[in-house]
Amino acid sequence: MRFSEFSLQPQILQALREMGYEELTPIQEKAIPHVLAGQDLLGVAETGSGKTGACGVPLVQMVDPTLNALQALILVPTRELAQQYVAELAEIARYTDVVPFAVFGGFDMAIQRAKLRDRVHILVATPGRLIDYLWNHALPFSHIRTMVLDEADEMLKMGFIENVDFILSCLLHDHQTLLFSATMPNAVGQLARSYLKDPVRVELNKEQIAPASLAHHFKYIARRDRLKALVTYLREETISQAIIFCNSREGVGRLIQALKQMFQSVELIHGGLEQPQRTSVYNRFRDRSIRLLVATDVAARGLDFTHVSHVINYEFPQSEEVYTHRSGRTGRMGRSGVAMTFVADRELNALQRLLRVNRIDPVWHDRVPSLGREARRPGRKAPGRRAGRRRRRSRSSGTDSAH
Ligand code: AMP
């Protein structure tokens, strides 16, 4: 189905055309008619599916720009997601008079407050910062027609349940509520039961969620060779952009020190960075001035970096869910991507579980470890190192040369 088949404002259709949005993604096809009809909605979908547009397009269409009041409120769990969300809204709304804005921690409240007082129609916020506004400065809710809870499972996991509850309870008048979550744990179900009225449930099946263009590569290594294996991989593989995941900030700190000695264009991101620094790294990675990003899972969840060709699990992910979120940073919207995971002996049990639970068809580089039959069955071997060397030789020298 195409966007042009909806009776959207011509200004919105023009913006969508320029954004390259012609066909709707499955989640957009399922959700947009209900959102436009004013129904409550429970969407089980992850980022990468186009769910920002599934809300963003109808919200921009529904807002009345002649009314200078907040008309839609979107809650997201992290600052980066708030930035990403508002950037997409701004693109959709660029030829209209609809004004989207985001408030999140780490930025000057006075500036944000002035902007809020001036003119904002759609507000994207993290729960903590929004509560600051609710306590300190009256944020008028009376014209809000649509409330969106994005990544509800993540918000609950991050301990925002009371904040979310409080914010929702401040909306006393009749309104539409849209709740999106990648998973449906009990707490999210409860939230939905408390705040959604006869919601339409929109769900993507596994094939629709997991892009077929994502290849799952694994390399069996000795624990002490982890860094060596990574460096070899970074040198031999053709990588346009990669996120390299560690399980802790300390791990990120150690790895970046080593990599900076050998590679150009490598930066780090984790929750301990000051906000301006975090935003700068995020923006530079997005506009591709950074090629290798060493990260904790703060960068795994939800963020949309369209050009990431490789996700590298330098340290083995702590759950199958974390693996899914990390690897979902590549292979986005039909582009091909590789998730490469380094596995040492003590991670083999977790690996077997990962392959089984996530139904992964692994591509092994070099050695295949001995696994239970079930886990090994679908395995394939990657092309040998020679192919890698050939590729490397034929590449022009560039940012990935070590020095
Ligand atoms: P999201 O799941 O909202 O983070 O979207 C994932 C990526 O898909 C983003 O890069 C969007 O810009 C892109 N996208 C969303 N909807 C469409 C569409 N209908 N056509 C093409 N790209 C889209």
d(C-alpha 71, C-alpha 94), whole Å: 17
Does the pLDDT of residue 62 top 90, yes or no?
A: yes
Cα(333) to centroid of ligand 1, in Å? 7
- The closest-lying atom of ligand 1 relative to the alpha carbon of residue 304 is 4
d(C-alpha 154, C-alpha 188), whole Å: 10
User: How many other CB atoms sit within 10 Å of the CB of residue 351?
Assistant: 21
- The closest-lying atom of ligand 1 relative to the alpha carbon of residue 302 is 4
pLDDT band at 372 (very low <50, low <70, confident <90, very high): low
CA distances for 217 relative to 234, 240, 366, 382, angstroms: 14, 17, 11, 8
94 by DSSP, 3-state: which? coil
330 by DSSP, 3-state: which? coil
Contact at 8 Å (CB) between 343 and 220? Answer: yes
d(C-alpha 243, C-alpha 330), whole Å: 9
- The helices-and-strands tally (H runs, E runs) of the chain is 17, 15
What's the CA dihedral at 385, 391, 394, 398 to 10 degrees? -110
Residue nearest to atom 18 of ligand 1 (CA): 21
Does the pLDDT of residue 217 top 60, yes or no?
A: yes
Average pLDDT over residues 375-399: 38
Does the pLDDT of residue 391 top 60, yes or no?
A: no
- The closest-lying atom of ligand 1 relative to the alpha carbon of residue 49 is 2
Selected residue with higher pLDDT from 158 and 245? 245
Does the pLDDT of residue 252 top 90, yes or no?
A: yes
Instruction: For the chain, give the percent of residues with pLDDT over 70.
Output: 87
**Mutation pick for ligand 1 pocket among 208, 304, 306, 329 (CB with most ligand atoms within 8 Å):** 304
Cα(302) to centroid of ligand 1, in Å? 12
Contact at 8 Å (CB) between 36 and 55? Answer: no
Q: What would the pLDDT profile of 159-186 be if each residue is shown by its tens digit?
A: 888 899 889 988 889 999 999 998 888 8
Average pLDDT over residues 19-47: 91
Contact at 8 Å (CB) between 17 and 302? Answer: no
d(C-alpha 345, C-alpha 91), whole Å: 48
Residue nearest to atom 5 of ligand 1 (CA): 50
Cα(49) to centroid of ligand 1, in Å? 7
Ligand 1, CB within 6 Å, residue ranges: 20-21, 23-25, 28, 47-53, 304, 306, 332-333
- What is the predicted pLDDT for the residue at 390? 34
| Secondary structure element (H or E) that encloses residue 350, with its range | helix 348-357
Q: What would the pLDDT profile of 332-354 be if each residue is shown by its tens digit?
A: 665 678 999 999 999 999 999 99
Whole-model pTM: value is 0.64
